[in-house]
Amino acid sequence: IPADLKTWMAARTYPQLFQEAFGTPDVTGARIALAIATYERTLFSNQAPIDSVIAGTAVLPPQQNQGQALFGGLGCAGCHAGSLFSDNNFHYIGVRPTSDDAGRFAVTANPADLGAMKTPSLRNVGLRSAYFHDGRFSRLEDVVAFYNRGGDFTAPNKPPVIRPLGLGPQQQAALVAFLRFALTDTRVRDGVFPFDRPSLYADAEMV
């Protein structure tokens, strides 16, 4: 348990802690949900190198700068847009045949949504261990190579931006460097405030 949290808890029980937070000692599902949601709203990742670049207080190293230019010029920023690096929309990009997973179509019944998945944020993308909705790749290099070949499958609703890009090894490496380093908030990477938390049983290696 992080030291500041342990000091605040001071060996108190959940009812005692809920008394302080909510005014009565009742521990309910609704209050647990409120407490978790309040905590999640403190987890605002906004100190990646790209944030300093946007603010005009820093510049990226040459390789990452080249990757950022490619990211904008190739159309990546169309879907991975804004401060979240996501348009929060749904797209079919050719990860799997549309017959394997209906995607958004299962909700809308709109043929244009067949196989479409929601665009994830790219913030801290370099810290992830799996990519795409099926977790098929474990390395950013493989993700960039996927886009470089224009995806692995096609369908009528596949957007034209998902096409063979013709990037060479050096350009692909620059794009990976931009994604891996420029979008990573070191507080998240290092697990420091406000991203520190108690160790969970799920974090332990299973023997």
Taking CB atoms within 8 Å and a gap of at least 24, the contacts of 56-65 are 60/178, 60/182, 61/177, 63/173, 63/174, 63/177, 63/178, 64/174, 64/177, 64/178, 64/181, 64/182, 65/178
Residue 206: pLDDT band with limits 50, 70, 90: low
- Residue of 177, 195, 174, 198 lying closest to 47 (CA atoms): 195
Mean pLDDT, residues 39-65? 96
Residue 48's pLDDT is what? 98
State the average pLDDT for the chain: 95
| Count of C-beta atoms within a 10 Å radius of residue 158 | 19
Q: What is the per-residue pLDDT across 109-133, written as a single tens digit (0 to 9) for each?
A: 999 999 999 999 999 999 999 999 9
Region 41-49 average pLDDT: 95
Percent of the chain with pLDDT over 90: 90
pLDDT at 104 over 60: yes
How far apart are the C-alpha atoms of 178 and 126, rounded to whole Å?
Answer: 9
On the question of pLDDT at 207 being above 70, the answer is: no
Distance CA 140, CA 130 (A): 9
More confident residue, 204 or 110: 110
Arithmetic mean of pLDDT, 19-42:
95
55 confidence band (pLDDT: 50, 70, 90):
very high
Contacts of 161 (CB under 8 A, 6+ apart): 75, 78, 79
Map tokens 């603010």 to a residue. Answer: 55
The band of 197, judged by pLDDT with boundaries at 50, 70 and 90, is confident
